[in-house]
Homo-oligomer: A and B are copies of this chain.
Amino acid sequence: MSLIQPRTLKGFRDYLPSVMIPREQMMQTAREVFRSFGFAPIDTPVLEHLEILTGKGSDETDRQIYRFEDNGGRDVGMRFDLTVPLARFAAQHINTLGTPFKRYHIAPVWRGENPQAGRYREFVQCDFDTIGTESVLADIEAVAVINNLLATIGFDAFTISINNRVILSGLLEQLGLADKAVPVLRSLDKLGKIGREKTAAEMCRVAEIEASQADAVLALAECDGDAESVFAQLPEITGGNEKAAEGIDRLTQIYRGALASGVPSSRLRVDVSIARGLDYYTGVIFETTLDQLPGIGSVCSGGRYDNLAGLYTKQHLPGIGSSLGLDRLLAAMEELQLLPDASTPAPVFVAFFDRDFRDDYLQLASKLRTAGIGVEVYPDAKKLGVQLKYASQKGFAAAVIAGGNEWNENRCQVKTLASRESSEVSYTHENPTQLIESLQQIISTAK
């Protein structure tokens, strides 16, 4: 019989333990942070009726959907994000769930786009949203969640940039440009890339506005400095517009509330130039960059939206949400060498040295597990060198070694695998304390 070539599809990948261990750890950290704010998990099917998925999407996302006709003749598709399923879910269940509804959802999505370096057709999204309230408290909380997420994952130096789209809307209203928000924003988005002069020229041309109007918009976008000084400058820059004033007030509340919620001011930046997409967000928006790797872009972005599920229900559902860029963060941690180099999730290795004592190795391992220590027992009584090589390669912190002599004398050897140092400790199944303490010390040092 000829063999079938074992391979994954183009644009897809396997996760081997060395990558999957920190990835799973990151998802677990995210879950714990979400839960600590009262966000609850949900799950939705990977497959949806195609009309649900194509209802709102742009032509581009529509093209990227994996779609087919199922055996029952239904047009179905695989979800391409977690926002559309959330909208469908909320429309369907919000009367059961009640509001405010706070959910998180960590799950894979699929997009049939042409794969580029580091981008795959299957990737995990990690979203949290608060639905059914317009309260500024929910906005503040979203910033606090982002701070706790990144800090708990292991980052120290990062910047959460916040803005309120309403401020620019107010200015545009003031300038008589309320109907030109889209082309103005589109041009403004290029400020970082092409500079002030070219942006102003493009804005005048594309949005058909005066140079003085473009100047006023750019003056807003360039308003910089520490948060309180920005808040002080903004009323004048927005010409005393009332809507802008409301937006400034709300942004001020979000900033100060985030500080009260424990977000260090060093990690918070008011940046009135960020816009984030053109037609979805309607209030506060945020982006998060790693100070050491600004080039990888935002690792956690989101904002407030007016109406989540208008395609599926007449119920008005405002909300605020954000998405953690899990795979982007993993790549960053790899680059910053923050990832542990291990392909075992257990810290202790027990060598299977003398086959006559097999059940003793098993019992020893059981004692360690009861004490909360993860243990792998090598399954075959191979040469010790082979076993220790395996243990080192996998990244165990410590090895426990005992032969017949040791067992008969109620002791065993403990080896720190990184330093190759060994020590002897006493051990019996009745009294494993010394071994446990010795291993706990090695494990905590290795971390």
On chain B, the residues within 8 Å of A1 by CB distance are 311
B375 A38 Cβ-Cβ under 8 A: yes
Q: Flag A47-88 by CB within 8 Å of B: 1 or 0 each.
A: 111011001000000000011111110101010000000001
On chain B, the residues within 8 Å of A260 by CB distance are 359-360, 362-363, 366
A370 B4 Cβ-Cβ under 8 A: no
| CB-contact partner of A312 in B6, B345, B373, under 8 A | B6
Q: Flag A4-20 by CB within 8 Å of B: 1 or 0 each.
A: 11111110111111001
| CB-contact partner of A3 in B4, B13, B20, B313, under 8 A | B313
On chain B, the residues within 8 Å of A42 by CB distance are 14-17, 20
Interface residue SS majority, chain A = mixed
Known: A6-B309, A108-B46, A137-B352. A17 touches B41 (CB 8 A): yes
The distance from the CB of A136 to the nearest CB of chain B, in whole angstroms, is: 8
- Copies of this protein in the assembly total 2
CA separation between A23 and B43, bound complex, in Å? 10
The distance from the CB of A395 to the nearest CB of chain B, in whole angstroms, is: 10
The distance from the CB of A244 to the nearest CB of chain B, in whole angstroms, is: 23
On chain B, the residues within 8 Å of A369 by CB distance are 36-37, 148, 262
CA separation between A10 and B363, bound complex, in Å? 49
A379 B103 Cβ-Cβ under 8 A: no
A93 interface hit (Cβ, 8 Å): yes
CA separation between A399 and B422, bound complex, in Å? 52
A40 B345 Cβ-Cβ under 8 A: yes
A398 interface hit (Cβ, 8 Å): no
CA separation between A92 and B14, bound complex, in Å? 10
A: residues with CB less than 8 A from B are 1, 3-10, 12-17, 20-21, 23-24, 28, 31, 34-49, 51-52, 55, 66-72, 74, 76, 78, 88-89, 91-93, 96-98, 100, 102-103, 108, 110, 112, 122, 130, 133, 135-138, 140-141, 144, 148, 256-257, 260-262, 309, 311-314, 343-346, 349, 352, 358-363, 365-366, 369-370, 373-380, 390, 393
Supplied contacts A4-B55, A46-B108, 16 more A-B pairs, CB within 8 Å: A4-B312, A15-B41, A15-B42, A16-B97, A17-B97, A17-B103, A20-B41, A35-B374, A36-B373, A37-B375, A40-B345, A66-B70, A141-B377, A141-B379, A260-B362, A260-B366
